[in-house]
């Protein structure tokens, strides 16, 4: 998911990480599968680390949508803080 797909220096996997994870989280929610949760967890950590290094509002919005869906399924204080932090970063970039 994170390897370059369009040639040298272009990493389409990372650019679409939020969109891909959002789809995976929604599909897991729909089907209830617990298969490969460890891989999904690592992907989520990678996505969050990556989004903190880029400035694209579109990518931030996809990451937020993913985190909000995770929170809807399993509301935790930690996840709420992460959502609020990411939301504040998106809001402050727009100023």
The SS3 call for residue 10 is coil
φ and ψ of 48, to 5 deg: -65, -40
Run means of pLDDT, 10 residues per run, the chain, 95 residues = 51 76 91 90 88 75 91 95 88 66
Provide the residue ranges of all domains of the chain, joining segments of one domain with +.
13-93
pLDDT digit string, tens, across residues 12-33: 667 788 888 999 999 998 999 9
């Amino acid at each position: 998911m994170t390897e370059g797909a369009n040639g040298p220096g272009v990493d389409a996997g990372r650019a679409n990480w939020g969109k891909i994870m959002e789809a995976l989280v929604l599909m897991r929610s729909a089907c209830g599968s617990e298969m490969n949760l460890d891989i999904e967890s690592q992907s989520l950590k990678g996505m969050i680390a990556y989004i903190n290094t880029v400035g694209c509002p579109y990518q931030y919005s996809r990451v937020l949508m993913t985190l909000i869906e995770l929170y809807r399924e399993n509301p935790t204080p930690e996840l709420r803080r992460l959502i609020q932090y990411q939301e504040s970063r998106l809001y402050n970039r727009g100023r």
